Homo-oligomer: A and B are copies of this chain.
Amino acid sequence: MAKKNIDSVEEVKNKQVILREYVTGRPKESDFYITTSTIKLQVPSGSNAVLVKNLFLSVDPVMQFQMREMKHQNLAEYQYYTPGSPINGFGVAKVVDSGDPNFSVGDLVWGTTGWEEYSLIQQPQKLFKIQHTDVPLSFYTGILGMAGITAYADVYEVCTPKKGDRIFVTAASGAVGQLVGQYCKLMGCYVVGSAGSQEKVDLLKNKLGFDDAFNYKQEPDLDAAMKRYFPEGIDICYEQVGGKMLDAVLRNMKVHGCITLCGMISQYNIAEPETLKNVMQIVLRRLTIKGFTHRDHHHLYPKLLDTVLPYIREKKVVYVEDIVEGLEDGPAALVGLFSGRNFGKQVLAVAHE
């Protein structure tokens, strides 16, 4: 297929969400601005990049971490943002032009892309090709995307419960928590979730099938709250909050219990992290604590699709999304994560086809 000379290719407008400056405290909408640049809808000659039109962007807590300046950071695998440039994250996109023989125009993909209308992706080998389109495309930002890999690995690989186990899920109505709780229910566990509003608590109990749930903002004493729901202790805690929540969890684990940590939303947005007091409980209760992120578990994706696509089709698992329309509302959606404004998985729709 002969390519047009790039000089003759039409330029289109490309709206972008730009990071203004490195963020030091809690991110604000004004840390970002929207600009419109132009882009030619063709991969440069000789490049094996892929040019995509972005459809849905995943709005993730970890992005706050990427807004910080990390001069001395020795964890190179994290992509930090550059002031003046568009931010990036996971998203669903359609291939507009391809220099990689594995991708064709019209292919649907998910993976790391820019917060903009069109992105030139330099490492297309990291993209996942979307094969199943009988489920909502936006699901590839969540239940079938990065959060989905996180939740699937959490329950089926990192710390696998057995029937009857008493499970506590924090941030339980979020992108990962709602899945972790439902997967544990499917395995025959007793599952309690914590969330930050009565509406979210109702969602957990009435729509997502949790056995019980509580609003942590209404609990002056988290330790007492946990003792109420887990008088005999917690077997497994899927923890994403950190700080005071993790301290209370440590005091309420059963001996030999397991805590998985795949994020700490309470800890991303403060300059000085909250400290942990009850560390000695790890020894006394002989706990295992496992930190992990999705990036170690991408090889599970085929198994995830085999397990989770039927769950979706048979309505055994529900996935609650909070879809905001348009890049202009991206900064508000992102900032809203840290006050818990989102109701379910936060998605930003850029275009629908």
Contact = CB atoms under 8 A, between A and B. Distances in A.
A293 interface: yes
A275 B273 contact: no
A124 B277 CA distance: 38
A290 B285 CA distance: 10
A288 B286 contact: no
Contacts of A263: 283
Given A267-B279, A267-B280, A283-B263, A291 B288 contact: yes
A285 B246 contact: no
Residue with the greatest number of chain B CB neighbours at <10 A, chosen from A267, A283, A285: A283
A283 B296 contact: no
Interface residues of A, number: 33
A290 B178 CA distance: 27
Interface string A263-290: 1100100000101111111111111111
A44 to B, nearest CB: 34
Minimum-distance CB pairs A-B, first 5 = A275-B275, A282-B291, A289-B289, A276-B276, A283-B291
22 contacts: A75-B255, A242-B279, A242-B280, A246-B279, A261-B282, A264-B280, A264-B283, A267-B279, A273-B277, A273-B280, A275-B276, A275-B279, A276-B276, A276-B279, A282-B289, A283-B292, A286-B291, A286-B293, A287-B289, A287-B290, A288-B288, A289-B290
